[in-house]
Amino acid sequence: MKFGVIIFPGSNCDHDAYWTIEHVAKQPVTFLWHESRDLENCDAVIVPGGFAYGDYLRTGAIAKFSPVMQSVKKFADSGGLVLGICNGFQILCESGLLPGALISNIGLKYVCKPVHVRVENADTPFTNACRQGEVLTIPIGHMSGNYFCDDETLASLRRENRIVLRYVTPEGQVTPQANPNGSLDNIAGICSPGRNVHGMMPHPERSAEPELGCTEGFKIFQSMLGALVAK
């Protein structure tokens, strides 16, 4: 299965995602340039972390206008798998592929550390290799990871089981202390109504092989591969 990893000016986790797909998942992968509309027949697209266009206006606000994102929208509308990680999550929200927004962390500080996230929905193309309620340890690294949406959107996310990941304690409890950035309802990741678009603030590519000290993030990529094979 062929994966595509988008490169924006300012992307800094693109090579990490590429490495994980090529060397850990052992799947074909290509870089997709932000100025190109060609997704090169990829079966899945990863919008990686970083600082697209320097985040000079607002995180993801400029990236949403890039030619490649116009193609990603069409790809997603046709059921294609799209994973947005950190800045990629921000871009997906700005592009309207996911609801809500990522705003500045509570305390206005950059946070970089391993966190625990609980799998709230294991029935998605991004979490099917996980167990419902499983707690994964995956690092974060962001300044604007505070997920926010209006009451109606939150109710819809809950009702449709589209909250995929929540920040929790190591024991799996949802508490204010387990929330590293102030995200509404401890949300760490959500998906689209069709379940084929997923945005998450933690970096699974940074916890995908033993050399990194943790392998639990690889389950996200393993799930995607399983979903593609099952198509």
Active site residues: 86, 203, 205
- CA distance linking residue 40 with residue 25, whole number of Å: 19
Q: In what order do the strands lie in the sheet with 29-33?
A: 29-33, 3-7, 44-47, 81-85, 197-200, 187-191, 163-168, 111-119, 135-142
Burial class (CB in 10 A: 0-12, 13-18, 19+), 120: buried
- For the record, the structure tokens of 207 come out as 């916890």
